[in-house]
Amino acid sequence: RAFREVMDDGTELRFDHGAPYFTVSNDEVVRVVGGWEARGLVAEWKAMFACFDRETGKFRDFDKEGTMKKYVGVPGMNSICKSLCQEDGVVSKFGVTIGKMDWLQDRSSWSLASLDGKDLGSFDFVVATDKNIASQKVSGLTGKPPPLDLSVFPHLSAMIQDIPVRPCFALMLAFSEPLAMV
C-alpha cells in the first residue's frame, strides 16, 4: 500500500507500508521473479537491518537479515500486481470481497461469489494474498464462513497451515536529514 503526504513546504513524502520485501525459495517462482526483475517490476533490496536500542539510543546488530535474496516492487510493491493485471487473459476484480470459492470439477475452474452472493464468474486460477481466505477469523469480521471451505480440500488445508506468517508493523517516519546508519 502506498500513502502520500504533502509537507507544509510542498515536499511530497511517499510511504510504501505494505510488505517491506519478499523472498523466493521455489525454483519455478524464482524463474517468474527473474522475469519480473528483467522487466524492471522488481529489484533486489539490499537494505541494512538494525535494531534500535532504546536504552542507549543507538542502532545495533547491523546485519543483512538472513541470506535469501530480498525483492521489492519498483517503484512500489503494488507495481507487480498492476503489471499482472495488464497481462493478456487476466480478469481483475477490484473493490469486491470474495464470499465463497467453489471448485467446479466438471469445468476445472473456480467459481467465485461476492460476500452478498453475487456470481462473479468462473476462473482458471485464483491468487489469494492471505491465508485467511480459509481462516475462521474471517467469520468474526463478516459474520459468514470463510470463502474457502478447507474440508472440501484436505490437501490444501495442510499446505496452508505450512505457510509461515510473520506479522510486521510499519512505522512511517520522515526525517529532515537522511539517516546515514540505517
Each domain of the chain, given as residue ranges in start order, spans 2-85, 98-162
* Mean pLDDT, residues 79-104 taken together: 86
Q: How confident is the model at residue 125 (pLDDT cuts 50, 70, 90)?
A: confident
Model pTM above 0.75: no
Top-confidence residue, 64 or 8: 8
Alpha-carbon distance 75 to 18, whole Å? 13
CATH class of 2-85: alpha beta
* Largest separation between any pair of C-alpha atoms in the chain: 64
**pLDDT above 70 coverage of the chain, percent:** 88
CA 6/CA 30 separation, integer angstroms:
37
pLDDT at 39 over 90: yes
Confidence class of residue 46 from pLDDT cuts 50, 70 and 90?
confident
Least confident of 40-44, 49-53, 87-91: 49-53
Res. 24: pLDDT tops 80: yes
Burial 44-77 (b: 16+ CB within 10 A, else e): eeeeeebeeeeeeeeeeeeeeeeeeebbbbeebb
82, 90 in Cβ contact below 8 A?
A: no
For residues 153 and 140, give the distance between their C-alpha atoms in angstroms, rounded to a whole number: 22
